[in-house]
Structure 1
């Protein structure tokens, strides 16, 4: 079965060359640039070193870097958020040739993944085949309509399966952590990576390598657990599964010491982690170190927070000395959204946005991301280079890392998804759903069993199911995973299992969020006497 899957994936991924060129591209106006075994990306009529799939990786990177202008280099340092966020177009328009990304872009994040008001209504998100066609069209703009044809790295979330409307949904990372099954997590990673590449995404922002030590923290639902050993072992497996054969890049987050903010503060107050140096080394860093050294992690997201008063995203110590020099990281670092802006408007270590750009790129940041136009970072960076405040060497070093990852995942040679039919068969297939079901079963943990109520007695007459999530699966669709799936609720599952032989009574009990708490009852609508009598039977 694995051989059959591999063959199917090979069909999906044989892109951009000869007969495997998608029809929409092969019949296009620039079909003359596509040759047997290579693409004339800079349209000069000859095979340059960076266009030669057989050339040495470093030679390809250096050849391309030597041909790039300041404008093209700086465009490889920023994210363009996808449709419904910053980008207002599902497909390229003539206006794109006037936008800053006419000179390329480092990555496009969450494009057509089905999230947001617009994204969930787009046919290019909800229909797998149309999605593949649209992603190819966007990539074709960068291949055919930019001077050097540098492809975009399509990034996406994926901590419980790929954040695409039609992808396979898995338990969130705490569920995966509860399974204590390395082989299972490797398989989840493999499926996530396969589905990502088949849908046109080449970089997935996962796994979450943070360690959750305080249950008050608002993102506990994203981590494997509280133990650094568990997070390290499962993080390595997820990275290896996702990046198998360099099908995609995995980007671990959030580096560093992100999950232990003072008082478990979340939102705009993610600052001042109360963590000793010993805790940093023994608890919060091992998972990142293992993912890089053992898993070959190709991406890292820098976090919002500071440590000892120094913001991570503006810290040469963290992004260069520790991450690259100590851990041996050789991928590219992308900022968490707005963490560059936070250098001046939150942490107050930079005078303004331009100064924040300088601090971030000199610290070691490769790509800045935020829910704002990429111009906000690219234009100040160009000014800084022209003014001599950021050296061309520093810029080259940051761009080199981005290009290296793009070459490693093969998008210079295979920029398109060639077979939408194969993608439709692969994504959320019956086989993948079986792995998801296995993961769901293994994730369950019985914490206590008062009076041996489980397994249920065959003579039971009635059951009360109480709780706001019992008949609502919406909270299971955390935004960093598939959105188009619908699960079986607890209430539905119990009714399906017991049939009509047992009376099942349901009460919501309370809301997930009570705006008037603690001045209102936790259970504002108690069970009726008849309902309570049914439970007592």
Structure 2
């Protein structure tokens, strides 16, 4: 390979740079692709092409590369996949924070498997997900893209996604790209691209842990570095992370790709490099293999760096070999094309919509309910109010197609930083569309007909109260008022959540809090449905509304799921993956804090507020009450390297079927470094009929209970471990304790990333009989 051909393999090009008038342009290809190409950026996500057109353009690009370039090397086509494939006709799944609220990794695997199928059908090979950032500051706009605050839950959801996307073999799979490596969600002030201040032990145990799990347990094949810096070193130039830890310690063999424009950011944003040449040298030397979304610093500037010896030819060859190996493993050399006729029956297939609906149903978290829910079928009229009640666009996350098209339009108009960083051709056809997706109003009216009286009330961010009178009148005349409130997700200035849409307040944006007060003042019972990318809502809303349902950003089937839960057709079973602050003044507030973490000092609370969150991690109500009848440990002493079993019997004491998530926590009170007051180590979802019970059996290896000791090596210490089970981080039962014993001659216990969970239903107990735990 010539140097130009090698550099081309480390570069990329926007799909729209190869399209003219909505069609593939051979003339543009001869310029952009003359030496080959590593990645094509978003054939689906950066255009308004329909699925069959995406496949046609992808085939045309590959045909040019195979037949018109000297080496005939196909390209990897990558797409955004935060809530499904970011494509015009693809299934829009719930945003990741909602998926995490299911506490059901298998559903995330099914989601990713659907994404894999749709991507392969359209000719795509790499998905920019999962987001493995642990987030404990919901001011950060990208909270919605994450799986929450707990490293174990994030790791379980992330590993499941990687398995689903990559499949059994990359020959039929899609490369998963875990991001943003690492600590991006711990930014200073909750601000995008801001530094993260993470001491080494916290970095290892919390923020690196999900990535390590994905690499070592799930075979992750790609990592995207973060925009931010750690301890003075921007992540794209951090060789200790990208080479020493990721490749050296964990044995990662895949590719590291840059976040968009981030190699140049080493110069233009961080001022860490004096020019593009130095930025390219620093990034490649640190271990950043591929520059996205378009070749910039890895073009002439990297060539210049090679010429002057700032980076070696051997480092260039290593990066190129990793890209080429992925292309071989994806089967691109044998089969670079896709069947354009098969796309229509694959993209947004009915089975994928069913997966989206099942996730949406289980993602909804009932935060509060004084008995007003479920709404009774014959209980009179419903006033449906709020800016998110009749707008299906607001149900979608920031990297859905409908949301991201808006950012392309704004970039073409040169508004904001995105417009400065990328040039959108004037001839690019961009169409806004939610493709007829139903709104909450549509879903409720389909069930209740003219019993629904709708009034918008206000917009998400506008300050006009002109619609208040109509909303108040509707509420006053109704038997119950349903307020659908919250966010508008996206990357533009009209969005209130999403990438670079950070907030200094967690109250509802615009005048929505005032709308709540006005409607509550009518005396009509109020149900608040929060369609939002982060915990939101002030004291008045959460204290005065009769019920509060957190819907997150539930995707294309979200309206149906919300209606089903409100009417009791589906029993809500979602659990919070992130603690819900009372206000920004509490941040950070998370369950796994240290004993000295300010929750138990002399006076305890703040002067003006409790220190406890509004709703704790793991919280979520349902319409069927569950109790833990029995929980046992199988032993009180275990040898390091072995494990313990915990068996929990739960009963549905209500009169309707329901689901519950049993959560297992441990505490190490005797470690040689301070440990969190609780650590999640297992969870299992059970579905139980009324009056019946089920068992959840956890096996916890001792290798899962270690930490990084004084010497910063992973260790499983001998000593006392306390075990708790429950339905949330503050509603749990102390099961007992066991002691880990050791042997001076025994080798170091290896880290284990998860135990096993088994769920089984028990036979119905005879009426009036006492349950004694017999099987």
TM range (shorter): 0.7 to 0.9
Distance 2:37 2:4 in 1: 10
Which of these residues, 345, 354, 358, is aligned with residue 438 of structure 1? Answer: 358
CA distance in 2, matches of 1:184, 1:530: 39
8 Å CA contact 2:95–2:396 kept in 1: the answer is: no
CA distance in 2, matches of 1:490, 1:95: 44
Out of 193-202 and 340-349, give the one that drifted further.
340-349
What corresponds to 1:527 in structure 2?
471
8 Å CA contact 2:263, 2:297 repeated in 1: no
Deviation at 1:398, TM superposition (A): 1.0
Do the aligned partners of 2:456 and 2:471 also contact (CA within 8 Å) in 1? no
- Distance in 1 between residues matched to 2:268 and 2:469, nearest whole Å: 45
Q: CA deviation at 1:458?
A: 3.7
Q: Which residue of 2 aligns with 1:491?
A: 441
The reply to whether residue 313 of structure 1 matches residue 232 of structure 2 is: no
Return the alpha-carbon distance in structure 2 between the equivalents of residues 356 and 525 of structure 1.
57
List aligned pairs for 1:104-503, cutoff 5 A: 104-111=36-43, 113-115=44-46, 119-120=47-48, 125-126=49-50, 128-244=51-167, 245-246=169-170, 247-266=173-192, 270-370=193-293, 373-417=294-338, 419-450=339-370, 452-483=371-402, 485-500=435-450, 502=451
1:159: how far off? 1.6
Which residue in the other structure is 2:14 paired with? 81
Question: 1:358, 1:384 within 8 Å by CA — same for their partners in 2?
Answer: yes
Deviation at 1:457, TM superposition (A): 2.7
Change (3 A) 1:391 1:342: same
**What does residue 48 of structure 1 align with?**
none
Which is richer in helix?
1
Q: 1:470 to 1:143 in 2, by over 3 A?
A: same
Instruction: Report the CA distance shift for 1:367/1:114 in structure 2 as closer, same or farther (over 3 A).
Output: closer
What is the CA distance between 1:386 and its match in structure 2? 2.3
Q: Match of 1:438, SS? A: helix
- 1:342 partner SS: helix
Compared CA separation, residues 458 and 430, structure 1 to 2 (3 A): closer
Residue 114 (structure 1) shift: 4.9
CA distance in 2, matches of 1:71, 1:491: 56
Cα deviations by residue, 1:353-408 (Å, 9 ceiling, x for unpaired): 111111111111101114xx524431111122122222110100111111111111
For 1:494-528, what per-residue CA distance to the aligned partner results, in whole angstroms no more than 9, with x for missing partners? Answer: 1111123x2x23333333224x6xxx879866734
Name 2:454's counterpart in structure 1: 506
Inter-CA distance 227–510: structure 2 relative to 1 (3 Å threshold): farther
Tell me, yes or no, if the aligned pair for 1:77 and 1:105 is still in contact at 8 Å.
yes
Indicate conservation of the 8 Å contact 2:277/2:297, yes or no.
no
Q: Using the alignment, how far apart are the partners of 1:283 and 1:326 within structure 2?
A: 17
- Distance, in Å, in 2 between the alignment partners of 1:380 and 1:166 is 39
C-alpha separation between the residues in 2 aligned to 1:528 and 1:95?
Answer: 58
What CA distance in whole angstroms lies between the structure 2 residues aligned with 1:363 and 1:525?
A: 60
Rounded to whole Å, the distance in 1 between the matches of 2:252 and 2:243 is 9
- Whether the 8 Å CA contact 2:19–2:25 is kept in 1: the answer is no
Name the CA shift for 1:523/1:320 in 2 (closer, same or farther; >3 Å): farther
1:455-492 deviation line (CA, Å, top 9, x unaligned) = 11344222122221111111233352354544321122
Provide the C-alpha distance between the structure 2 equivalents of 1:489 and 1:390, rounded to a whole number of angstroms. Answer: 54
What TM-score, normalized by structure 2, do the two folds share? 0.55
- SS of 1:340's partner is helix
Query: Per-residue deviation at 1:132?
Result: 1.8
CA change 1:530–1:177 in 2 (3 A) is closer
Instruction: Please report how far the alpha carbon of residue 98 of structure 1 lies from its aligned counterpart in structure 2 after TM superposition.
Output: 3.4
Partner secondary structure for residue 506 of structure 1 = strand
Tell me the alpha carbon deviations over residues 47-68 of structure 1, each in whole angstroms, 9 at most, x when there is no partner: xxxxxxxxxxxxxxxxxxxxx1
1:421 shift after superposition: 2.5
Deviations 1:76-106 (A, max 9, x none): 11121221xx54544132343234x311111
Deviations 1:86-136 (A, max 9, x none): 54544132343234x31111101111x154xxx22xxxx12x333322211
Q: Distance in 1 between matches of 2:239 and 2:190?
A: 26
- How far the C-alpha of 1:144 sits from its partner, in A, is 0.7
Give secondary structure in 2 for the equivalent of 1:499.
helix
Task: Tell me the secondary structure at the aligned position of residue 448 of structure 1.
Answer: strand
Change (3 A) 1:178 1:531: closer
Partner in structure 1 of residue 700 of structure 2: none
Q: Distance in 1 between matches of 2:239 and 2:163?
A: 28
Q: Relative to 1, partners in 2 of residues 1:446 and 1:152: Cα closer, same or farther, differing over 3 Å?
A: same
Unpaired segments of 5 or more residues in structure 1? 1-67
Where in structure 2 are the equivalents of 1:32-71 lying within 5 Å?
Answer: 68-71=1-4
**CA separation in 2, counterparts of 1:530 and 1:135?**
52
RMSD over equivalenced CA pairs, Å: 2.0
* Aligned 8 A contact 1:206 1:250 in 2: yes
Shift of 1:210: 1.0
Number of equivalenced pairs = 445
Query: Is the contact between residue 156 and residue 205 of structure 1 (CA under 8 Å) also seen in structure 2?
Result: yes
Q: Which has the higher strand share?
A: 2
SS of the residue aligned with 1:333? strand
**Counterpart-to-counterpart distance in 1, 2:236 and 2:469:** 48
Of structures 1 and 2, the one scoring higher in RCO (CA 8 A, sep 6+) is 1
